[in-house]
Structure 1
Amino acid sequence: MSSASERTDPRITRTITALQRAAVELASQRPVSRITVAELAGRAGVTRATFYNRYSAPLDPLVEALYADLETGHRLEDRRRAEGYPGPELLRLAVAEVADHVERFAGVYRHALDDPADRGVYDALVRHFNDYALTFLARATGAGLPAPGLPGADQQVIAQFLAHGFTGAIKAWLSDPSITKDDLVDAAVACAPAWWAAAGASAPPKTVDQGRR
């Protein structure tokens, strides 16, 4: 996760942005596991030493870029929650935002899907959804919300179940051309537990920390 000084130093910001953009461009052409640091640094216009000052592998800036885009959707969800959107509508819109994200980075996700050596992209997606689910559950239980059926089971297990299930649904969508984005959204909403929508509508906004990778 970026420090405060990194976020305010325009040179560092430009370097990070360039490396993230280069990672997305290259990973949209072929699996990120086949991208070299030298190639990525060259595309970004920086030295290998500059790359290694922050990252260890091309997957790292790629995941950072993916998380940043997903986080934009979470902020939109928080605004909608604050505006009083009903739980079921919030759920559908949140799932649709993720589907839109996958479409924006379709090349990245499809290349990762086809290469067994490239599982890091989907592992990162699972971690993202796991962190989001844990934050959601902590926010809901901490607020003492009147959410029908809010589970009392282990939250780590619940979060992993939801994260792997949603990531698996995305893989199924991308693997089968006959499955549409609307099919994905419909299926994910149908599989979501009833307590998710009930808790989500009234939970106070809180952005998930995407610094963990």
Structure 2
Amino acid sequence: MSAGGQITGARPQLGIQDSVNTAGRPGTYADFNVPQRWSSTTRLYRDGVLVADKGSTIDKTFTDAGPASYELTRSFTSQGVFPMGGEGTATWKFSADGSASTEATPVRLLNATLDASLDDLNRARPGRLLDVTAQVTGAQGRLHGVRAWVTADGGKTWTRTAALGGRGGRYHVIAPPSSLVSGGFLGLRLTVQDSAGGMLDLTLPRAIPVH
């Protein structure tokens, strides 16, 4: 999942992609047969107040211009139609000065892409430690508060794990052998903040299938 957009004065314009590969290509449900059971929610909060509740794009103008803190949330599920990656939630936090400027500026949102060494069918080997690379982009200043969790039961239980490195926004999330169960899925959660107050909380309960 990734989010981005621009803001002009007190008018944020935001868009979300539920699927982005490691090369930055947004996936679309036209890549598959669009399932009837697929559903999603997108909400935008401004200073803690819900101001938008709609689809994958938000275009909202506020009359009370001024500095504000925003929280953007997205969740989606395919109800099992897409077993791999068919469910996810994300929360982004950012702030804007809300000036009267008529010039659009990019909204710097933290995003993360995940990659790992898998077989030809994009499956991990069971019972083996797996190094999952998390590339974080969009940071303003330094990154901190990087934490990671893994799950082997679709998100019912989560185990904290190491997130190592950080040079250039690149982290190594270490999935222990116990989290890679044959015939199941490895799920991942990642949280990260930057020095400007931006925050990302990304949860993918079924991120990687296990052989």
Higher relative contact order (CA 8 A, sep 6+): 1
Superposition TM-score, scaled by structure 1 size: 0.23
**Bigger helix share:** 1
**Bigger strand share:** 2
Superposition TM-score, scaled by structure 2 size: 0.24
